[in-house]
Amino acid sequence: MQTGFKAVSVGVLMMLSAGTALSQSAGSSLPWSDRFDTASPATVGLSDQALQSATSALRARVEANDIAGAVAAIMKDDKLVYAEAVGWRDIESRDEMPLDALFRTYSMTRPVTAVAILLLHDQGLLDVNDPVSQYLPAFANQPVLIDSANPDPGAVRARVGDITLAQLLTHTSGLGSRSSSLYRANNVHSYDQTLAQVVDNAAALPLFEDPGTQFRYGLHAEVLGRVIEVVTGQPVDVYLEEQLFQPLGMTDTVFYVDEERAPRLATVYRPDDAGQLRAIEMEDIPVTERRTLTSSGVGLVSSTADFLSFSHALLTNTRPDGEALFSEQTRRLVSENAIPDALLPIGSGGYWLGSGWSLGGFAVAMDPAAYNHPVSTGEYWWDGSAGTRFWIDPVNNMIAVIMAQVSPASGNGFREEFKTNIVDALNGPAGE
């Protein structure tokens, strides 16, 4: 059986210079050949010329100070066909961006946690339709705000219905965002608290609406991480390492960047008023320090190669050892929209108007016309608030990952431009 993976030697990767073109011609050397099957783009129907243009566009983004640097990669038909590092890991030191750079993934942590919940569901250790109070009793009698637009914790009413794990997975539980004024005022989420404390903080405050009545992107993955701890008896980081990261060969996906990995950690930048990129630290406690909170919602640091491994396992339902990741029934839960029709659309503008949400923790493209860049119907994807994103496209049997470190994450649309250029590579440039 062709899996696209190769046997992983833990901690061993082929590293190439950040400034070297890696993918533009048949027979050129590709990195990570010990992890993935590799091929030239043309053998899987991708235009070499268009991919060269994609790389040139990323370099232009560096020159324009939209991003300091980036690492991007593409798998097509189970083959790694493109991997490129451009720009700088750290501008001040003039350290080039390496292919094995590490990035703060922020919300790309959420699908990892959701997939872990589905592993437990698949093993019969929990059911996604279970009430969360079965595992976390503090959520049993949580009231609801009378007016979600005026979050006064003293103005509440009785809740209608129980929160289920499925509602946590689809952001329809009624919980709020960690950045909401209610949660900020009550210090719900901070890195000097344990995961149990953060979850208890959320349970002690009212819901924004009744469970199952509205999509509200929020703190759900932290609660799911705590459920994992209760069900397995293991800290969430230990469970993820043993059940996901090791089996999938994700050797650089961590909650804490140790001294050995620190030289590969990309610096986060934010443009100043003059448009010049300045280094910033997005959290009070950086990822290079031991943090009390193991944040199962926004806490992971990872690499482009690791998210290729994660994405490929989901697309093919196959681990590197050739074994199935999920049963076929659970596999569908990863990528299919689970938001009821009555709650669609899940947002009021942009891609939210054309997206559903899966139990696997992904936005699902249901109406590609709502997107400002090309996607396939049924494509599932997510991103992070420091400039990372990945797409899994079953229609074209293709995966794309791009990682940078910039805030705001948009970076003037560099991710959307990269995806557009990939689709151009599928179609071939004019005259080719």
Task: For residue 4, name the pLDDT band (cuts at 50, 70, 90).
Answer: confident
The per-residue pLDDT for range 294-311, each reduced to its tens digit, is: 999 999 999 999 999 999
The yes-or-no verdict on residue 106 having pLDDT over 80 is yes
Query: Tokens 């909170």 label which residue?
Result: 293
The predicted model gives 303-330 an average pLDDT of: 97
Angle at 245 between CA 244 and CA 250, to 5 degrees: 140
Cβ of 234: how many Cβ atoms within 10 Å? Answer: 15
pLDDT above 70 covers a percentage of the chain that reads 93
Residue among 322, 391, 397 at smallest CA distance from 72? 391
- Which pairs with CB-CB distance under 8 Å and at least 24 residues apart come from 86-94? 86/18, 86/55, 86/58, 86/59, 86/62, 87/18, 87/58, 87/59, 87/62, 88/62, 89/18, 89/264, 89/265, 89/266, 89/267, 90/266, 90/267, 90/279, 91/267, 91/269, 91/277, 91/279, 92/267, 92/279
The predicted model gives 146-162 an average pLDDT of: 95
pLDDT for the residue numbered 194: 98
> What integer best gives the mean pLDDT of the chain?
93
The residues near 271 (Cβ < 8 Å, ≥ 6 apart) are: 65, 277, 278
Sign of the C-alpha dihedral, residues 343, 347, 210, 125? Answer: positive
Distance separating alpha carbons of residues 241 and 166, to the nearest angstrom: 23
Q: What is the chain's alpha carbon radius of gyration, rounded to the nearest angstrom?
A: 21
The predicted model gives 11-31 an average pLDDT of: 43
Distance separating alpha carbons of residues 276 and 76, to the nearest angstrom: 36
Residue pair 383/419 in contact (Cβ under 8 Å)? The answer is no
The yes-or-no verdict on residue 14 having pLDDT over 90 is no
Our CA dihedral for 354, 170, 297, 8, rounded to 10 degrees, sits at: -80
Delimiting residues of CATH 3.40.710.10 domain(s) in the chain:
41-105+256-293+303-427, 112-236
The per-residue pLDDT for range 111-145, each reduced to its tens digit, is: 999 999 999 999 999 999 999 999 999 999 999 99
The yes-or-no verdict on residue 13 having pLDDT over 80 is no
The predicted model gives 48-57 an average pLDDT of: 96
pLDDT above 90 covers a percentage of the chain that reads 91
The residues near 134 (Cβ < 8 Å, ≥ 6 apart) are: none
The per-residue pLDDT for range 194-244, each reduced to its tens digit, is: 999 999 999 999 999 999 999 999 999 999 999 999 999 999 999 999 999
Residues 112-236, CATH architecture? 3-Layer(aba) Sandwich (3.40)
Alpha carbon 249 to chain centroid, angstroms: 17
Residue pair 228/239 in contact (Cβ under 8 Å)? The answer is yes
Burial of 136-163, coded b for 16+ CB within 10 Å and e otherwise, reads: bebbeebebbeebeebeeeebeebeebb
pLDDT for the residue numbered 8: 39
pLDDT for the residue numbered 429: 55
Q: What is the largest CA-CA distance in the chain?
A: 67
Question: For domain 41-105+256-293+303-427, is the CATH number 3.10.20.740?
Answer: no
pLDDT for the residue numbered 291: 97
Q: Which two tokens stand for residue 330?
A: 């659970």
